[in-house]
Chains A and B, each alone.
Chain A
Amino acid sequence: MSLRVFIPRDAGAIAVGADDVASKLEQAAANRGVPIEIVRTGSRGLYWLEPMLEVATAKGRVAFGPVSVNDAASVLEAMLADGPHALRLGITGEIPWLKRQTRLTFTRCGVIDPRSLEDYRAHNGYSGLERALTLTSDSILADVTASGLRGRGGAGFPTGIKWKTVAQTSAMQKYIVCNADEGDSGTFADRMIMEGDPFLVIEGMTIAGIAVGATKGYIYIRSEYPHAVEAMNAAIAAGRRGGYVGSRIGGSPHSFDLEVRVGAGAYVCGEETSLLESLEGRRGIVRAKPPLPAHHGLFGKPTVINNVLSFAAIPFILAGGAKAYADFGMGRSRGTMPIQLAGNVKYGGLFETAFGITLGELVDDVGGGTFTGRPVRAVQVGGPLGAYFPSALFDTPFDYEAFAARDGLIGHGGIVVFDDTVDMAKQARFAMEFCAIESCGKCTPCRIGSTRGAETIEKIRAGERVTENIALVEDLCNTMKFGSLCALGGFTPYPVMSALKHFRDDFGPAPTRLQAAE
């Protein structure tokens, strides 16, 4: 029997050498005359251990990591002998970081071959769709509503209500659009699931199509994610061959076709109306709402537009899991959230867990603090538009409302950790600069406010009329927050105001704290 080894083809693993390790391992096996089968999977999300290799054994998969090219030969020996190795991590499923998660969405990610429809089906894939095909539209909508699922892109709008709105419209053509324009720094869950379990996204979108009566779907993926584009295209092609994309889905009377469209480097296209404009082939200029995309969306037709993770949560819910899903979580945040730990963090990666875990548990306990070994000073939660929280707020539970109550947001679930060398005035200026670079230009508070904001924060950093200029920035933030058309201008004040509120010492000429550190 040949040795069966699993190596991720996830971009995060490739970026730290997974491809080289794979070819080295193959070569080492050939030199030794051992038959080997290498299966390229997604990532399990334990990025500090990537490239993480797994070997199939009678007891289950055994993991090794992080494996460098130089370790390949010795790791192969340890795999063959089922013997000890410094990089041996034991049975993968027993690794504490993985074991303590609640993986409902990412259960197959890193396990299966993302190119194989058979593998997906063999691991319970398409059971949600199979059940959905036996249900009426109303019953599907009832399940989605009962699960309590809220949009995972950041806004947290109840998915069931959105779908119902589209289902109730009558139109010759309706669309399902998957927002895979995951532009927030510190987030990579969409990328991981598209690269590691693309059929899951397809299944979720297909169920949405059946529920609302849409026959065409688009997946809008950012151009910074070439591996995800490739993975989704390969899965759509395989799905088409297998009768799961196109006409008569799974032998049913339903048709659902899919197309991948690639963005072109505009952050604002992650905003849903801007994304729709971009899909239509125009500049990514934000549309005023109403009308809602549910009534007047892509090409003016009723459209369900959801984040990748929202669609990816659907198959579990439709496979009879609506109640089980809703049983996880706290308050109005039901189910699980794939949380992404990033930046200066010791154990960075994807941690899917029920809502309610505290920020401190995530950063200190799960994340293990910083990789530089210095104290954590700030964490930014929810991407470039999310607030910076100091460790004093680490008791905040991961929950939409709890974060909002502390002037923050969970957004798409990314947490970026900074150590005590961070200059928070610089981060505040960056937030404004980023908004200026990425503003679509339609509304004045965002277009002009961001540039003026960056200039004014620079004046503060230079020690120019600090008190007056801080007041000016605060006033400007208010204008942007309440006067902008979309979340780009409207939420840029979150990182700026939180930095001002929690790290006021950094605003002024040459912060004393940093001088002391030097």
Chain B
Amino acid sequence: MTVYEPWDAARGAEIIAEHTHLDGATLVILHALQEAFGYVPEPAIPMIASALNLSRAEVHGVFTFYHDFRHKPAGRHVLKLCRAEACQAAGGDALAARAESKLGVSLGNTTPDQRVTLEPIYCLGLCATAPSAMLDGRVVGRLDEARIDALVAEARR
């Protein structure tokens, strides 16, 4: 589990200022904000726009285009299951259904107790040790029923 700072405008401004010297800094800043706060708080969008001399709409457009950026915090743990072809071929469909049923949420959602966010991911590049998953940044391969159950249990703790 990763511990994030609560949103703070001054801290946000500081993070933005650290990167404004870069060419094409928008994605770099969005990543940095999400790393600090766990998501990209809405008040940060106009701050980025003003720092980079862009329109709010433009920054909002970038923020919403990419699957990675969150507009609200994820659950305490994030379990990403690879749903791409190599993992499908290796039995990933059944394992994803199993994780959904154990957690009681479908892919793309967070459990009501905010403990676990379950997400699809399209390829971790672990295709020769498929099916694979990532729990809070830790990669796991050769999943089977026992391993997916263990991952789900770990995520729920």
A-B pair number, CB within 8 angstroms:
156
Tell me whether B1 is interfacial, beta carbon within 8 Å. no
Whether B122 lies near A186 (C-beta < 8 A) is no
Whether B89 lies near A416 (C-beta < 8 A) is yes
For B25, what are the chain A residues with a Cβ–Cβ distance below 8 Å? 281
**Given A185-B84, A282-B26: A341 touches B128 (CB 8 Å cut-off):** yes
Complex Cα distance A380/B84, Å?
12
Contact of B132 among A15, A223, A267 (CB under 8 A): A15
Q: Which residue of B lies closest to A48 (CB)?
A: B128
Whether B86 lies near A343 (C-beta < 8 A) is yes
Contact of A11 among B89, B90, B123, B139 (CB under 8 A): B139
- Of B5-13, B64-72, B97-105, the stretch lying at the interface with chain A is B64-72
Tell me whether A126 is interfacial, beta carbon within 8 Å. no
Interface code B47-61, partner A: CB below 8 Å = 1, 0 otherwise?
Answer: 000001000001001
Whether A281 lies near B62 (C-beta < 8 A) is yes
Complex Cα distance A437/B140, Å?
25
Whether A267 lies near B122 (C-beta < 8 A) is yes
Tell me whether B111 is interfacial, beta carbon within 8 Å. no
Q: How many residues of chain B have a CB within 8 Å of chain A?
A: 41
Interface code B120-143, partner A: CB below 8 Å = 1, 0 otherwise?
Answer: 011111111110100001011110
Smallest distance from the beta carbon of B108 to chain A beta carbons, Å?
Answer: 11
Tell me whether B28 is interfacial, beta carbon within 8 Å. yes
Tell me whether A359 is interfacial, beta carbon within 8 Å. no
Whether B65 lies near A343 (C-beta < 8 A) is no
Tell me whether A63 is interfacial, beta carbon within 8 Å. no
Interface code A324-357, partner B: CB below 8 Å = 1, 0 otherwise?
Answer: 0000000000000000111111001110000000
Whether A299 lies near B127 (C-beta < 8 A) is no
Whether A340 lies near B67 (C-beta < 8 A) is no
Tell me whether B115 is interfacial, beta carbon within 8 Å. no
**Given A185-B86, A261-B27, A384-B84: A47 touches B129 (CB 8 Å cut-off):** yes
Whether A278 lies near B121 (C-beta < 8 A) is no
For A183, what are the chain B residues with a Cβ–Cβ distance below 8 Å? 122-123
Whether B85 lies near A348 (C-beta < 8 A) is no
For B127, what are the chain A residues with a Cβ–Cβ distance below 8 Å? 185-188, 340, 342-343, 348, 414, 416
Contact of A12 among B31, B67, B88, B128 (CB under 8 A): B128
For B125, what are the chain A residues with a Cβ–Cβ distance below 8 Å? 11-12, 182, 187-188, 190-191, 224-225
Instruction: Report 17 cross-chain contacts, Cβ distance below 8 Å, ordered by A residue.
Output: A15-B126, A15-B139, A15-B142, A185-B122, A185-B127, A191-B125, A223-B68, A225-B125, A263-B66, A265-B66, A265-B68, A281-B24, A344-B91, A348-B129, A384-B85, A416-B127, A437-B122
Given contacts A50-B129, A187-B125, A345-B128, 8 further A-B contacts (CB under 8 A): A12-B126, A15-B139, A279-B24, A283-B61, A283-B62, A343-B85, A383-B85, A419-B89
